[in-house]
């Protein structure tokens, strides 16, 4: 029997509705959560993401600011914007869209954002908090979304073999930290695979939960999946497809058709992990506003 689909779009909708209700309650107490997004340059994919983040914020009843800067922006100019947002009491979350133009060092920018406004969870203070299991820290939106998908789909994680393919700072490493903690939707035995892993298939084939964030289209095939596994595909890759109007289509890092014959549950691409990212960004912004009110 083909795998059951984990409907990321529906779960993200559920979370966005919850965030909107809780935002309204916070507004009634005099605080409207505010998110500022900075986009430098005119990368079309980034422009689409930034626009969706702004719309999602407004839909949730939050205050939304989008700052669009030219590709020629210098690092000091960008840092001046970050400083202004750090000091602005109406802004609880700051996100600088990556990638940045080559004259700007992303690490310098990430370290300049106040950790209590770093709703991306990229600042070393938040990276450290996630690693030690301090719940005050902000978890990067994509791994937080994956964990929420597992939780809301009723996947048993305690004691499970969880194999993560990919070791990026944005997904693989924080995903590892989340799944190994002793809390809910976690408590797993975690293996992280990467480009130097010998015999990748030997690892993936014993995963009860397989999370793939490697950035390589369809690299995980059904033959590499354990029967009955839960497969979470974080990849979003454009591949050429002459049969579509645009000439391309989106595929994940998992070969969906073969993997779904073997797995018990699987996320599709699109409408799997993707929509969860914005939902978790809103959730982090709401918490940043609550924490600001309490401090």
Using Cβ positions, the residue closest to ligand GUN within the complex turns out to be: 98
Considering the complex, what minimum distance in angstroms separates the CB of residue 96 from ligand GUN? 6
Contact yes or no for 93/114 (Cβ under 8 A): no
- Please spell the DSSP secondary structure of 130-199, one letter per residue: HHHT-TTSPPPHHHHHHHHHHHHTT---TT-EEEEE---TTTHHHHHHHHHSSSTT---EEEEE-TT-S-
Residue 141 in contact with ligand GUN, rule: CB under 6 A: yes
Residue 96 in contact with ligand GUN, rule: CB under 6 A: yes
Neighbours of 165 (CB within 10 A): 28
Nearer to ligand GUN, 22 or 118 (CB): 118
Among candidate residues 7, 116, 118, 120, the one labeled active-site is 120
Piece of 22-30, 89-97, 111-119, 232-240 that binds ligand GUN (CB under 6 A): 89-97
Nearer to ligand GUN, 40 or 263 (CB): 40
Per CB under 6 A, the list member of 12, 34, 40, 97 interacting with ligand GUN is 97
Residue 109 in contact with ligand GUN, rule: CB under 6 A: no
Residue 178 in contact with ligand GUN, rule: CB under 6 A: no
Nearer to ligand GUN, 98 or 131 (CB): 98
Q: How many residues does the chain have?
A: 295
Active site residue 253: no
Active site residue 97: yes
User: Residues 227 to 286: which contact ligand GUN by CB under 6 A?
Assistant: none
Residue 95 in contact with ligand GUN, rule: CB under 6 A: yes
Dig out the tokens for 151 from the structure.
């939780």
What is d(CA 271, CA 124) in angstroms, rounded to the nearest whole number?
30
Residues whose CB falls within 8 Å of the CB of residue 127, separated by 6 or more in sequence, listed in order: 121, 169, 174
Residue 57 in contact with ligand GUN, rule: CB under 6 A: no
Per CB under 6 A, the list member of 7, 118, 120, 148 interacting with ligand GUN is 120
Active site residue 53: yes
Considering the complex, what minimum distance in angstroms separates the CB of residue 141 from ligand GUN? 5
Among candidate residues 7, 53, 117, 181, the one labeled active-site is 53
Q: Which residues bind ligand GUN (CB under 6 A)?
A: 95-98, 120, 141
């Amino acid at each position: 029997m083909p795998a059951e689909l984990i409907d990321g779009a529906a779960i993200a909708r559920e979370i966005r509705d919850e965030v909107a209700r809780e935002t309204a309650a916070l507004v009634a107490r005099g605080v409207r959560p505010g998110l500022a997004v900075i986009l430098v340059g005119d990368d079309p994919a980034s422009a689409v993401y930034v626009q969706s983040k702004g719309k999602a914020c407004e839909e949730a009843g939050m205050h939304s600011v989008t700052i669009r800067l030219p590709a020629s922006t210098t690092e000091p100019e960008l840092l001046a914007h970050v400083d202004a947002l750090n000091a602005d009491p109406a802004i609880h979350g700051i996100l600088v869209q990556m990638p940045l133009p080559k004259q700007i060092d992303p690490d310098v920018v990430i370290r300049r954002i106040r950790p209590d406004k770093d709703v991306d969870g990229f600042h070393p203070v938040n990276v450290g908090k996630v690693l030690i299991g301090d719940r005050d820290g902000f978890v990067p939106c994509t791994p937080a979304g994956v964990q929420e998908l597992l939780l809301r789909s009723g996947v048993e994680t305690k004691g499970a073999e969880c194999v993560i393919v990919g070791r990026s700072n944005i997904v693989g490493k924080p995903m590892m930290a989340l799944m190994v903690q002793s809390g809910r939707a976690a408590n797993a035995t975690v293996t992280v695979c990467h480009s130097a892993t010998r015999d990748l298939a030997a690892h993936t084939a014993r995963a009860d939960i397989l999370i793939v964030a490697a950035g390589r289209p369809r690299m995980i095939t059904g033959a590499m999946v354990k029967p009955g596994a839960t497969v979470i595909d974080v990849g979003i890759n454009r591949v050429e497809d002459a049969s579509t109007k645009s000439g391309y289509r989106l595929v994940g890092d998992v070969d969906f058709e073969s993997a779904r014959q073997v797995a018990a549950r699987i996320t599709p691409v699109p409408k799997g992990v993707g929509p969860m990212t914005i939902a978790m960004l809103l959730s982090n912004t709401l918490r940043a506003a609550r924490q600001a009110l309490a401090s």
